[in-house]
Amino acid sequence: MTRNVLEWLEEAALANPDAVAFEDDAGAMTFAALLGRAKEIGSYIASRAKPQSAVAVFMDKSPACVSAMLGAVFAGCFYTPVDPSMPWKRIGLTLDTLKPAFILVGEAHKDAAPGFAAWTRNVAVAESIGRGVDDTVLENIRRNSIDADLLYVLFTSGSTGSPKGVSITHRAVIDFVEWARGALGIDCACRFGNQAPLYFDNSVLDVYCAIRAGAYVLFIPYKYFSFPGRLLGYIASRQVNTIFWVPSVLTAVANSGALDTQPPLALQRVYFCGEVMPARTLNAWRKALPSARCVNMYGPTEITDVCTYYDVDRDFADGEDLPIGRARANTRVMLVDGEICVTGTCLSPGYYNAPELTRAAFVQNPLRPGIHEVMYKTGDLGRYNERGELMFLGRVDSQIKRRGFRIELGEIEGTLMAAAGVEECCCFFDAIGEKIICVYAGTANQKELRALLKERLPKYMLPDDYARVGVLPKTGNGKVDRARIKREYARERPVV
């Protein structure tokens, strides 16, 4: 029985020591090198921090960053990736909650190291520490570890303005990865083209499935995602055959026309999660790569990445909604008053250092009153279609009530995404003016959109105002930044 994800790394390093595990434009790291470097870092941390202490990793995404994360795990600790490009205010809020015992800083950001003194005395430049391994200490730590130990804490946006730290255990990641390997066909021949930042839970599939299967991960430089043609050429040149990207990125590539001129024919697996996937985007990718397997996945960070999935097995019209499918193995997904709720091994034990937030989201399963069973309330609405597939309907907090009618803003967005000339869109409700506002990117004009929506939606659902922009702003994860759109639109309304 696997109790610790490091067992996978040790097995991969023994089976294929010289195989490249992680690579970026600056260099590569084999499984043997990754294991050795992580043990060195782990030995160093273990001499200065107790097991199950928090370790912040302040490094750019790279093979070296992965070795630092795993080094924290070798020390029996759990890690939190902290993106150096984040605003310092948010970094400070993260560290205030985390209260790290140790902070690992990347060589490129070593000048920032003194600034962490307010949070811990244990700060070190990861690339320069620990060139020795204390096997006795590491073996003793492993001997005393259990699968309920925390592996990582990832911080997501919180409604209070402070980021929430989602705690995830070894057990949950082991359960997720073993499911993914079988259900998604991940083996040692997979060559992942990673898009997700390491502080975003989508990266967990790339990183840990690769370690488990002895596969390869290419960290694609962020610059390529601004130039779809160059992006597709780059992944083709590196023989990437598996991607797990957010739909916004896949949509940007599809809208650019690059798929028509240089489809990355080596791609065998196109997986996506994190947002609603427009059927029009899916159709563009399926047309360009007719033999590729496409899988739509759903799940918040709190349930270890994925709780439902839909293996695309039929055609969809551009305006149709895609199913999010059925529950993955060993996971129970329920609709409680229309809200998607989840229970199982996948669940986070809660938000780090935030007991009130934890009690609000992780509650007793009302369908199992005779036993203590925790379920997570996702805040998402769902329903089952005629095939028994789960459909995502939008956020509970995106369901508005206007003039006595309940309206799902996601339904309006889905209709808009089927319109010619709309590349991206976001709808929000101006409660003061009781107006639905549509912000979109594309060539369509307001008159065209009004006419289309009048044909497809009841009058009470029609947007009151439209704003056309060059491109919708994105979060660091590549998702549409809805909060920023709402803030900026309140200040200035572009003319259509």
The answer regarding whether domain 403-491 maps to CATH 3.30.300.30 reads yes
Tokens of 252: 């940007």
For the chain, 496 residues long, the average pLDDT of each consecutive 10-residue run is 97 98 97 98 97 98 98 98 90 95 97 94 93 96 98 78 88 98 98 96 97 98 95 97 95 94 96 92 97 97 97 95 97 96 98 96 95 95 96 82 73 87 90 83 91 84 91 85 83 48
Distance CA 490, CA 487 (A): 5
Distance CA 65, CA 482 (A): 30
Helical segments of 352-476, H only: 355-361, 409-417, 446-456
Helical segments of 301-431, H only: 355-361, 409-417
- Structure confidence at residue 403 (pLDDT): 63
- Structure confidence at residue 494 (pLDDT): 45
Burial letters 172-194, b for 16+ CB under 10 A, else e: bbbbbbebbbeebebeeebbbbb
Distance CA 76, CA 148 (A): 12
- Structure confidence at residue 87 (pLDDT): 83
- Structure confidence at residue 491 (pLDDT): 53
Q: What is the pTM of this model?
A: 0.86
Can you say whether the dihedral through the CA atoms of 79, 83, 84, 90 is positive or negative? Answer: negative
Tokens of 35: 């294991």
Three-class SS state of 120: coil
Evaluate whether 197 touches 235 at the Cβ level (below 8 Å).
no
Distance CA 55, CA 120 (A): 10
Strands 350-351 and 164-169: antiparallel
- Domain coordinates in residue numbering, the chain: 1-145, 170-395, 403-491
- Structure confidence at residue 456 (pLDDT): 82
- Structure confidence at residue 159 (pLDDT): 47
State which fold the 1-145 domain adopts.
Answer: Rossmann fold (3.40.50)
Evaluate whether 436 touches 405 at the Cβ level (below 8 Å).
no
Tokens of 366: 């009302």
Evaluate whether 473 touches 489 at the Cβ level (below 8 Å).
no
The answer regarding whether domain 170-395 maps to CATH 3.40.50.12780 reads yes
Return the HEC string of 64-101. HHHHHHHHHHHCCCEEEECCCCCCHHHHHHHHHHHCCC
- Long-range contacts, stretch 444-452, CB < 8 angstroms, 24+ apart: 444/419, 444/420, 444/468, 445/421, 445/496, 446/496, 448/419, 448/421, 449/416, 449/419, 449/422, 452/415, 452/416, 452/419
Distance CA 180, CA 177 (A): 5
Residue whose pair of structure tokens reads 């947007």 in the numeric block = 463
Give the chain's length: 496
Let me know if the fold of 1-145 is the same as that of 170-395.
Answer: yes
Distance CA 490, CA 381 (A): 27
Distance CA 401, CA 431 (A): 10
Distance CA 71, CA 59 (A): 14
Strand partners for 191: 216
> Please, which residues have CB within 8 angstroms of residue 280's CB and are 6 or more apart in sequence?
254, 318, 319, 417, 418
Q: What angle (nearest 5°) sits at the alpha carbon of residue 112, between those of residues 109 and 118?
A: 145
- Structure confidence at residue 336 (pLDDT): 95
- Structure confidence at residue 163 (pLDDT): 82
